[in-house]
Amino acid sequence: MKKNILKMATLGLGLMTIFGLTSCDDDDMMMESTMEKTITFENIVAPKDFVESGSFQGTNTPVIMPGESVSVKFIAGKAQSLMFSTMYGASKDWFFASKQPGIKLFDTNGNAISGDVSSEVLLWDNGTKDNITGTAQSNPIAQVPNVNASQLVKLNLSYDIIKSEFTLMITNTSGGTANATPLSPGVWAVSNYNGSQLLNSAPFFTPNALSNPEITDIAQMGDITKMVTKLNANTGIMTGLSPALVVVYTGNQNPIYQLGQLDSGNGLKEVSQTGDVMKLQNSLKALPNVKGVYIAGNAPVAPGNKVMTNFSYTSGDKIAYVTMFGFSNDWFYANEQSIDANTKGDLTSKTALFDSGTGVNQYPGAGNRQALFGGTPQAESIVISKVGTQYPVPAVQNVLKVTVN
């Protein structure tokens, strides 16, 4: 009897020891396996003054003679306008251009303006030469008095609502007037819009101020070379980013999107079109292989700003992330490659720009159906794909930086 009690006591002590060791090991394992990192999303795009720019010239010769016309196609959203400039050829230093910030393209109700907009053109004296002798001067740019520019140049606008594309027809109507003149080759530009204001509200020149070398060359010689060079250096697509969503999951399939498949309706459409992460967040939380969903930021991320969030994970977990290319109809940045949650460092090279296939594309930062301009994309249903080269979008590494520490 004593031996049996001793055996049972010894067995009990052994089990307690085993359970005790097992419990300690589990605690230690949990402490070791539950880890935390910080992921940061930084908008590093370099804002440019103009979203689009270009030049125009006559059909047969660079000069646009009386009776001749040229056309310019450009994209613009509700807040944007078009600036153009061309030399009044029969002068020492006069040029045509609109008032700042350019030709008005939309009315107060947000409807595109079409038809005759000749009233938008003005004739300016560059102030750098005497109008009779051509002697050098240094006067501020001012409107030429007693000349009705709209009688010399006719402007006509037409609009393609699907593309958000305008066509401006410029016709030299000065023939037979007291101010008959050829027009030089010209330049045009549409200022970038950041969601609240134009990045350049006085393109090309500033009225009532001294001129600059670029507009002076146009006004005096009809030479657009310097202005084209300046415009090229200051034209480019920019964008804001939405708050970023980060998901920690297990398995081999990215729960946010699948390349080559239609949008699943889990909330990716809302992220890619408006930057709203709530539906996707709730959808992901309901998935059995999702261990956590985290949101970095609570407002649009402008160039030069960043957002971050901490996330928890255990060994073997993976992470995926998504943020909207804000100045688009339905684009998003996401990791193209699978990422181990234990990865550290720069993840930008693992990131790509995708089209969710849920809205018809327009020129980034100039499409009237984009959320940037309060619009709703025209619906479409095509498979998720990488954004191609239809538009001159900056490379991922020039817009977004993703790091984990």
Q: What is the pLDDT of residue 214?
A: 98
- Token reading at 144: 């030429």
> What confidence tens digit (pLDDT) does each residue in 133-166 have?
999 999 999 999 999 999 999 999 999 998 889 9
For residue 344, give Cα distances in angstroms to 31, 177, 247: 20, 72, 16
Q: Which of 31-35, 54-58, 226-230 has the lowest mean pLDDT?
A: 31-35
> What confidence tens digit (pLDDT) does each residue in 304-356 have?
999 999 999 999 999 999 999 999 999 999 999 999 999 999 999 999 999 99
Q: Which long-range contacts (CB under 8 A, 24 or more apart) does 153-158 make?
A: 153/96, 153/118, 153/121, 153/183, 154/116, 154/118, 155/103, 155/116, 155/117, 155/118, 155/120, 155/121, 156/115, 156/116, 156/117, 156/118, 157/103, 157/105, 157/113, 157/114, 157/115, 157/117, 158/114
Q: What is the pLDDT of residue 162?
A: 87
What is the distance between the alpha carbons of residues 16 and 124, in angstroms, rounded to a whole number?
Answer: 96
Q: Are 402 and 343 in contact (CB under 8 A)?
A: no
> What confidence tens digit (pLDDT) does each residue in 160-195 have?
998 889 999 999 999 999 999 999 999 999 999 999
Look at residue 359 and tell me whether its pLDDT is greater than 90.
yes
- Rounded to the nearest integer, the mean pLDDT of the chain is 92
Q: What percent of the chain has pLDDT over 90?
A: 90
Q: What percent of the chain has pLDDT over 70?
A: 92
- The three-point CA angle 381-283-384 to 5° equals 25
Residue of 293, 385, 369, 278 whose CA lies nearest to 332: 385
What is the distance between the alpha carbons of residues 234 and 50, in angstroms, rounded to a whole number?
Answer: 6
Look at residue 28 and tell me whether its pLDDT is greater than 60.
no
Helix 213-221 and helix 225-233: axis angle, to 10°?
150
Domain boundaries of the chain, sorted by first residue: 50-233, 238-404
Whether the full predicted model's pTM is greater than 0.95, yes or no, is: no
Q: Give me the CATH topology for the region 238-404.
A: Immunoglobulin-like (2.60.40)
Residue type, 1: M
Residues 6+ apart with CB under 8 A from 229: none
